[in-house]
């Protein structure tokens, strides 16, 4: 069993606090993706778990064992780095088997384990080659093979696919998912790629400046972002966020968006937020060019002036002015519009998100 637990973990380099109050409970076999801007502490969290850095405060456990003081090689954790870190002078076979050799395994046993991993990763015909004679994707698979043969309790991946082109990334993503389905090893995976995060993760952890902003399934964090930061970080193009006014008329919440008053259905609970300015969020895919495309509620008109159009093949990203704010609408490619057009778009209130201006936190109750 290899559940992984971080309890109030902190890490400082000198006076710089890189990780703060970091607590997570990862179940045995879960696939966790860490997402966040560059420098927010993702690699540091993996390195703390692998034992390559020491915690400044808090407790890390693997299974029921506290590993704070344990040397890296005693932690039963294997890490795949972005740079692959292969030994250039060794063959693929020796690169994959190197960890086993260090652990004192017999040559015949090493060769058998390397063979098994190589077949699984479709590397069996390359075992005699050196890393420089391999493509990027093949090198990446060697790095994965090296982690796999050790049969660790926990896998750590630090942006393993970021050096590959889009097509190969997608193949490798499918392969990583299949391997996880087969072996169900607890995995922590760092990526900048939203598609990787959404397709691989049981849960994503969104980090900012070393602190957790939200933890949840990909679906949950997309549909119910806990705050403005998560709302703009998850989803591409990012969620539109515009200023609006909240008031109450005979007890009913009313949002004034531009010149339009939108009475909110009672199913939307803003936790009795007082009247005043708030931020309203709406995803580019929840604004439609036809009223009939609004399927989840009553279509409300949204007149906008188009400022730019980006044709992407399957869709068009339309940029439009909304008062002092800007909105992006993702529309089907057939919709033909151009800069300067005045267009009435449609949306419905059930797809709106609401955030506090000061804290940035969601005003909807079910977001945590």
Ligand X SMILES: Nc1ncnc2c1ncn2[C@@H]1O[C@H](COP(=O)(O)OP(=O)(O)OP(=O)(O)O)[C@@H](O)[C@H]1O
Task: Give residues in contact with ligand X (CB under 6 A).
Answer: 13, 18, 36, 38-44
**Could you tell me the smallest distance in angstroms from the CB atom of residue 226 to Mg ion?**
23
Stretch that binds Mg ion, among 36-44, 71-79, 111-119, 224-232 (CB under 5 A): 36-44
**Could you tell me the smallest distance in angstroms from the CB atom of residue 201 to ligand X?**
16
Which of helix, strand or coil describes residue 67?
Answer: coil
**Could you tell me the smallest distance in angstroms from the CB atom of residue 31 to Mg ion?**
18
**Could you tell me the smallest distance in angstroms from the CB atom of residue 14 to ligand X?**
7
Stretch that binds Mg ion, among 1-9, 42-50, 70-78, 258-266 (CB under 5 A): 42-50
* Among ligand X, Mg ion, none, residue 41 binds (CB under 5-8 Å by kind): ligand X
Nearer to Mg ion, 43 or 140 (CB): 43
Nearer to Mg ion, 24 or 300 (CB): 24
**Chain centre to alpha carbon of residue 324:** 30
Nearer to Mg ion, 160 or 284 (CB): 160
Rounded Cα distance between 105 and 2, Å, is 23
* Among Mg ion, ligand X, none, residue 72 binds (CB under 5-8 Å by kind): none
Q: Are 278 and 245 in contact (CB under 8 A)?
A: yes
Q: Are 168 and 137 in contact (CB under 8 A)?
A: yes
Task: Give the helix ranges, DSSP H, for the chain.
Answer: 42-50, 92-102, 107-120, 136-149, 166-183, 194-200, 218-223, 228-233
H or E segment at 300? strand 300-311
Q: Say if strands 252-257 and 240-249 run parallel, antiparallel, or are unpaired.
A: antiparallel
* Among ligand X, Mg ion, none, residue 40 binds (CB under 5-8 Å by kind): ligand X
Angle at CA 246, nearest 5°, toward 241 and 247?
170
Residue located via tokens 């602190």: 211
Q: Given candidates 43, 186, 227, 241, which one binds Mg ion under the rule CB under 5 A?
A: 43
**Could you tell me the smallest distance in angstroms from the CB atom of residue 209 to ligand X?**
9
User: What is the contact surface with Mg ion in residues (CB under 5 A)?
Assistant: 43
């Amino acid at each position: 069993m290899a559940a992984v637990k971080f309890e109030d973990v902190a890490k400082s380099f000198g006076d710089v606090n890189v990780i703060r109050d970091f607590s997570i409970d990862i179940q045995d076999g879960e696939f966790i993706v860490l997402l966040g801007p560059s420098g927010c502490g993702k690699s540091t969290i993996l390195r703390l778990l692998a034992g390559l850095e020491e915690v400044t405060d808090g407790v890390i456990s693997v299974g029921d064992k506290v590993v704070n003081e344990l040397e890296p090689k005693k932690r039963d954790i294997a890490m795949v780095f972005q740079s692959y870190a292969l030994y250039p002078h060794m063959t693929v076979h020796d690169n994959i088997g190197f960890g086993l050799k260090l652990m004192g395994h017999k040559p015949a046993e090493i060769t058998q384990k390397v063979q098994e991993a190589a077949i699984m990763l479709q590397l069996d015909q390359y075992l005699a080659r050196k890393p420089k004679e391999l493509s990027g994707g093949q090198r990446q698979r060697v790095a994965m093979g090296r982690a796999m043969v050790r049969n660790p309790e926990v896998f750590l991946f630090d942006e393993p696919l970021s050096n590959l082109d889009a097509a190969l990334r997608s193949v490798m993503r499918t392969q990583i998912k299949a391997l996880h389905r087969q072996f169900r090893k607890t995995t922590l995976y760092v990526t900048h790629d939203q598609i990787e995060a959404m397709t691989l993760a049981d849960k994503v952890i969104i980090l900012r400046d070393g602190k957790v902003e939200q933890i949840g399934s990909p679906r949950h964090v997309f549909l119910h972002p806990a705050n403005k930061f998560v709302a703009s970080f998850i989803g591409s193009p990012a969620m539109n966020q515009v200023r609006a006014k909240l008031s109450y008329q005979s007890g009913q919440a009313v949002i004034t968006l531009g010149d339009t008053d939108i009475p909110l259905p009672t199913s939307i609970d803003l936790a009795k937020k007082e009247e005043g300015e708030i931020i309203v969020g709406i995803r580019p895919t929840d604004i439609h060019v036809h009223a009939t495309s609004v399927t989840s509620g009553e279509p409300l008109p949204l007149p906008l002036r188009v400022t730019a159009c980006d044709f992407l093949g399957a869709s068009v990203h339309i940029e439009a002015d909304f008062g002092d704010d800007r909105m992006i609408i993702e529309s089907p490619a057939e919709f033909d519009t151009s800069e300067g057009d005045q267009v009435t778009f449609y949306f419905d209130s059930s797809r709106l998100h609401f955030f506090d201006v000061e804290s940035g936190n969601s005003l909807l109750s079910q977001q945590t």
